[in-house]
Amino acid sequence: MSFELRLKGMPFLCNYSRSVYACPVIIIALILTLYLCVTMFDQYQEHQILDQQNQHMTAAVDRQNEIARALKVKAQQNQPNEKASVSIISMLNPVAQLLTSDIAIVSLDANPNKKIVTLDVSATSLSALMDFSARLEQIPARVELKNHTPAKNATDKWAVNATLMIIFAG
């Protein structure tokens, strides 16, 4: 039985041409088309994987850029600027003018953004500390006595240790 006779039962394959080569050509075309579809599907999957990797890399770069921007902003905030220095000097100048020999500043912490100066002072007596606090209230500021304690050494010139918070107006 010839190839043509075997295909007579399958008219859908050889309906367009009566040539002996038509059916094998159609089968080869179908095989090639199937091969191209499989290859395209593989390429599509590979593209999807690469696209996901690209999205992950882009997200990682974006996170690193955010961290770099945050570090840059933090570094700029930590840098002392001239405006803050002038502000600190303008806050401390009136305090320095009010010092007398019976008061000693042990340490100070100035926050120009909040306009607050915290002083740790030693005084020769409680009355000297109260006088200094009263003088500080003459400048446009509110003075708060956070704590005061007697000196540990009774023979010491500085009889009282205290912490004062000066909150400047405006």
The pLDDT of residue 28 is 93
Given a cut of 70, whether residue 11 has pLDDT beyond it is no
- pTM reported for the whole predicted model: 0.50
Long-range contacts of 159-162 (CB under 8 A, 24+ apart): 159/123, 159/124, 159/125, 159/126, 160/122, 160/123, 160/124, 160/125, 160/126, 160/128, 160/129, 161/106, 161/120, 161/121, 161/122, 162/120, 162/121, 162/122, 162/123, 162/129
The pLDDT of residue 155 is 63
Mean pLDDT value across residues 32-47:
95
Class of domain 82-168: alpha beta
The pLDDT of residue 128 is 87
The pLDDT of residue 34 is 95
Given a cut of 80, whether residue 12 has pLDDT beyond it is no
Any idea where the domains of the chain sit in the sequence? 1-79, 82-168
Q: Which residue has the higher pLDDT, 27 or 19?
A: 27
The pLDDT of residue 94 is 81
pLDDT tens track for 50-103: 999 999 999 999 999 898 898 888 887 776 665 666 677 777 888 888 888 888
The pLDDT of residue 36 is 95
- Whole-number average pLDDT of the chain: 82
| Matching residue, tokens 């050889």 | 14
The pLDDT of residue 154 is 60
The pLDDT of residue 83 is 62
Which amino acid is present at 159? A
Given a cut of 90, whether residue 41 has pLDDT beyond it is yes
